[in-house]
Structure 1
């Protein structure tokens, strides 16, 4: 059950923060642009005027199961789609996703005004938060998917020392693999050989074809792959002793867009209503849930 007093307090904060950040004082126009009725009208009113006018929230997204799975017909399914639809219901806008090749394309596309948001999985860092507002909605550790019929002898993440590992370029996983390589060399073994590719599908193809011994990905993605193909793949997870950290994965929006505080409060609505837990449970991701959405957590931790 919702608590009206708490909701009104949260919405007041959202509206004030969003309008201050966006610097826009114009009232919402009743011009028919809205694509769907908002479940929280005050949050719709706090959106930047350009989003209200178009009635659309434009997301960038690369092919990255289980976050986004792109069908042959161009349709998109996955965690990202479920959360975008839920956010769209809260905000009273229609989410649209344009598929991009990789993370740099998504980030640059947002900075150029082509897209409004990118739901990751992207690690929230203080450096990135100089240009983007981030809303952390899950955590992750890095895992490595290995074919069950592999002869590479990978039963633990440390067995990847000296092995070929396919990862998405510029991702949190590439960063974590570098830390694993430091662990390897520190213990007198060869570093892992990084094979940087554009998306998760490419890393899995490289592993299936034998070009790589393993495919690095977030724990959530590894859970999804091995659950769907349990007789084909298994996975190992990098530990703290092997250089791993639990990373905050976030939705990104340009800092000057005014969307950050509004989307933060929209996510809070999903937490309060139970929709956040429902979606995460549906995808088997309760291990990587957070207690509440966090705005610009990396900068706050400095």
Structure 2
């Protein structure tokens, strides 16, 4: 790690510590935080016996499913409400609705994004949520039951006039790119870093963080030039942060509930999502969070990665 990067990481860590300490008192919300929308389409969801019958007997008897949940600093997938304690968002509503369809209680443990998938393979968690994109690499050890189509996008400071859109990674050459640790964004950026050196240009630098808030702070403090994150997350954040500009879509990915490979829970969750699509609850949840253009026609188990 270079001295410059070390200095950058230290500065961002200090900034994040200040933000988190402020959040504990409720005085300084995370970047992009918002009050909870008033709609509650999950309230009227009822158990579906056919879907519930797909659960393993031990899970039906226990009446609870343990989730590992990543809660980011911004919506709409999952973030903390204005009390800085209660997780809310699209992922939360979809999971709660699926739990009601299956007749089980959703028990959440907040975890860092990069620790959830390993936690599934070690049976620490039964299900993982955190806007997990379906990729061929992940499918080697993880199964998915899809519930939305999101993907990869970019954002910059609004006062940065260098870009109006980013469609190719060689546009990033020589820049510092902030992204989430353990994400498809990090994997994509690291895998394709050679596009710059192949073209005789300086490579871009990937700065990865476990906390979304550190990424946004780094961008506004000009320690980071560009953010790569979810399409829906960046679009949402751009409506909440005055100096943030969403640069559009880079690549679409299906997003799903994550399970260890060959988990017997996947078919039940797939059936529950399809029940929500069928009865209209699904479209109401997406409308609540402004993500209607990410709707899927039906849930699938571990579909092929979008090219």
TM-score using structure 1 length:
0.76
Counterpart CA distance in 2 for 1:138 and 1:188 is 39
What is the match of residue 156 of structure 1? 165
Counterpart CA distance in 2 for 1:40 and 1:192 is 50
Query: For 1:108-147, what aligned pairs fall within 5 Å after superposition?
Result: 108-147=118-157
Q: State the secondary structure of the residue aligned to 1:298.
A: coil
Displacement after TM superposition at 1:172 (Å): 1.2
Displacement after TM superposition at 1:40 (Å): 0.5
What is the match of residue 221 of structure 2? 209
What is the match of residue 69 of structure 1? 79
Counterpart CA distance in 2 for 1:134 and 1:274 is 22
Displacement after TM superposition at 1:184 (Å): 4.0
Cα deviation digits, residues 188-224 of structure 1 (max 9, x gap): 4333210011132221122223221122111010111
Counterpart CA distance in 1 for 2:295 and 2:103 is 25
Structure in which a larger fraction of residues adopt helix: 1
User: For the Cα contact (< 8 Å) 1:120–1:249, is it kept in 2?
Assistant: no
What is the match of residue 218 of structure 1? 230
Counterpart CA distance in 1 for 2:224 and 2:261 is 38
Q: State the secondary structure of the residue aligned to 1:296.
A: coil
What is the match of residue 21 of structure 2? none
Cα deviation digits, residues 24-76 of structure 1 (max 9, x gap): xxxxxxxxxxxx99520232232123322332121111222321113455210
Query: For 1:1-302, what aligned pairs fall within 5 Å after superposition?
Result: 39-64=47-72, 65-66=74-75, 67-71=77-81, 73-103=84-114, 105-150=115-160, 153-157=162-166, 159-178=171-190, 181-229=193-241, 231-237=242-248, 239=250, 245-298=251-304
Displacement after TM superposition at 1:293 (Å): 1.1
TM-score using structure 2 length:
0.75
User: For the Cα contact (< 8 Å) 2:120–2:127, is it kept in 1?
Assistant: yes
Displacement after TM superposition at 1:107 (Å): 1.1
* Structure 2 unaligned blocks of 5 or more: 1-43
User: For the Cα contact (< 8 Å) 2:127–2:257, is it kept in 1?
Assistant: yes
Q: State the secondary structure of the residue aligned to 2:130.
A: strand
How many residues of Structure 1 are paired with residues of Structure 2 in the alignment? 258
User: For the Cα contact (< 8 Å) 1:62–1:199, is it kept in 2?
Assistant: no
User: For the Cα contact (< 8 Å) 1:129–1:298, is it kept in 2?
Assistant: no
